[in-house]
């Protein structure tokens, strides 16, 4: 008689993390930090999905360090992320798009990991219920910047020292990921052993493993650029963009897809192939996206999936930030597509 088929094993993010810890790919402290991040993302998912009901659409009435009108949910998501990380007790320093300077976490008592994050990416889409996301990266602790918290050193002098410890190149990332709030709530994570995708099952509020070791297609005829900026691009980039519109030997030009959320445009690029770009232009000399908590985490993920993340000339992961909100141009996606634009820009 054939063995009764065991009921299929559901792997949740929690059980997956415990398995990686058992294998020694992450330590117990990192496991707790990642679990606290997934909790923050679940809370943000529910806030985003009910925003119009709970009067959480629209602006907060403040301008952030980026010079952007903060949305109410930018502020709330930042608070949710910060408090989940602080209560984990394993996070030493946090740096957020919505915080002017890094925050040294007094509640930290072990692990002391450095976590950088964009608590709500694509927040201009909130009022129209178009996909948004959260992006994060985790660096190993750099204890000297945390020395003497609570002694005579005032927190802000510690925070100044922590700017140095936060400004690390993406090559140092231990983990990176994002949560996309869309038709499904999708949690994507790499700890350096490939890219894993989890889908939130709202029936019992757990992220369930739905894809493992994702590989981005080597090429893809989908491009995601804000062509509204075309007139301000330099000539080499214009030539690249024009070339995508020629039918070429396949007889079909590229397709344009752009939703104005890096997380949404990136996730489609990761699964379908293609390229997302936010180039520099005459107005924004370094482009718009922030190196520390948007470009570097996404570049770590795309390289783990066999793709490429570039500023047009060099690997994003090789760039060491000089300040935490530094912007860089970004071209990210299928290797052949990123190499194509790099050739035009050479």
Binding site for ligand AHG (CB under 6 A): 68, 97, 118, 121-123, 226, 260-262, 265, 288
Pick 97 or 281: Cβ nearer Mn ion? 97
Task: Report 187-216 residues binding Mn ion (CB under 5 A).
Answer: none
The number of residues making up the chain comes to: 346
Strand, coil or helix: 147 = coil
Q: Does 121 bind Mn ion (CB under 5 A)?
A: yes
Task: Indicate which single residue of 118, 281, 303, 311 sits in contact with Mn ion (rule: CB under 5 A).
Answer: 118
Binding mask 36-75 for Mn ion (x = CB under 5 A): --------------------------------x-------
311 binds, among Mn ion, ligand AHG, none (CB under 5 to 8 A by kind): none
**Cβ-closest residue to Mn ion?**
121
Provide the minimum distance between the beta carbon of 108 and ligand AHG in the complex, in angstroms, as a whole number.
26
Q: How many CB atoms lie within 10 A of CB 307?
A: 29
Pick 207 or 293: Cβ nearer Mn ion? 293
d(CA 284, CA 251): 35
Contact 142, 165 (CB under 8 A): yes
Pick 29 or 118: Cβ nearer ligand AHG? 118
d(CA 25, CA 284): 40
- Selection from 336, 316, 334, 335 nearest residue 326 by Cα: 316
226 binds, among Mn ion, ligand AHG, none (CB under 5 to 8 A by kind): ligand AHG
Q: Does 337 bind Mn ion (CB under 5 A)?
A: no
Tokens of 253: 């030009």
Pick 36 or 131: Cβ nearer ligand AHG? 131
d(CA 58, CA 49): 14
What is the radius of gyration, based on Cα positions, of the chain? Answer: 20
Number of separate helices (H) and strands (E) present in the chain: 8, 15
Provide the minimum distance between the beta carbon of 27 and Mn ion in the complex, in angstroms, as a whole number.
29
Residue 67 phi/psi, 5-degree rounding, is 85, 15
d(CA 5, CA 73): 46
Pick 122 or 170: Cβ nearer ligand AHG? 122
How far the first Cα of the chain sits from its last, in Å, is 66
260 binds, among Mn ion, ligand AHG, none (CB under 5 to 8 A by kind): ligand AHG
Provide the minimum distance between the beta carbon of 109 and ligand AHG in the complex, in angstroms, as a whole number.
31
Residues at the interface with Mn ion (CB under 5 A): 68, 97, 118, 120-121
């Amino acid at each position: 008689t054939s063995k009764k088929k065991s009921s299929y094993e559901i792997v949740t993010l929690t059980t997956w993390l415990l398995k990686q810890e058992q294998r020694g790919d992450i330590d117990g402290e990192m496991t707790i930090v990642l679990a606290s991040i997934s909790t923050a993302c679940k809370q943000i998912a529910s806030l985003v999905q009910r925003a119009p009901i709970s009067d959480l659409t629209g602006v907060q009435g403040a301008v952030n360090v980026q010079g952007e009108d903060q949305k109410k949910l930018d502020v709330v998501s930042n608070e949710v992320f910060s408090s989940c990380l602080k209560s984990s007790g394993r996070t030493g320093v946090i740096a957020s798009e919505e915080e002017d300077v890094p925050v040294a976490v007094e509640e930290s008592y072990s692990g002391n990991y450095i976590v950088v994050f964009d608590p709500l990416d694509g927040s201009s889409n909130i009022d129209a219920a178009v996909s948004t996301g959260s992006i994060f990266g985790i660096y190993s602790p750099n204890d000297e910047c945390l020395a003497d918290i609570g002694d005579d050193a005032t927190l802000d002098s510690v925070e100044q020292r922590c700017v140095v410890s936060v400004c690390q190149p993406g090559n140092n990332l231990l983990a990176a990921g994002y949560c996309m709030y869309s038709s499904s709530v999708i949690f994507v994570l790499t700890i350096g052993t490939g890219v894993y995708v989890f889908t939130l099952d709202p029936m019992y509020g757990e992220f369930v493993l739905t894809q493992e070791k994702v590989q981005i297609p080597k090429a893809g005829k989908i491009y995601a650029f804000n062509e509204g900026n075309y007139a301000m691009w330099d000539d080499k980039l214009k030539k690249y963009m024009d070339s995508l519109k020629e039918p070429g030997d396949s007889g079909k030009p590229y397709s344009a897809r752009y939703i104005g959320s890096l997380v949404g445009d990136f996730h489609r690029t990761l699964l379908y192939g293609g390229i997302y770009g936010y180039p520099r232009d005459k107005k924004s000399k370094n482009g718009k996206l922030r190196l520390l908590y948007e470009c570097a985490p996404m570049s770590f993920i795309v390289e783990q999936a066999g793709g490429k993340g570039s500023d047009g000339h060099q690997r994003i992961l090789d760039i060491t930030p000089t300040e935490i909100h530094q912007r860089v141009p970004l071209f990210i996606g299928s290797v052949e597509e990123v190499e194509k634009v790099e050739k035009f820009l050479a």
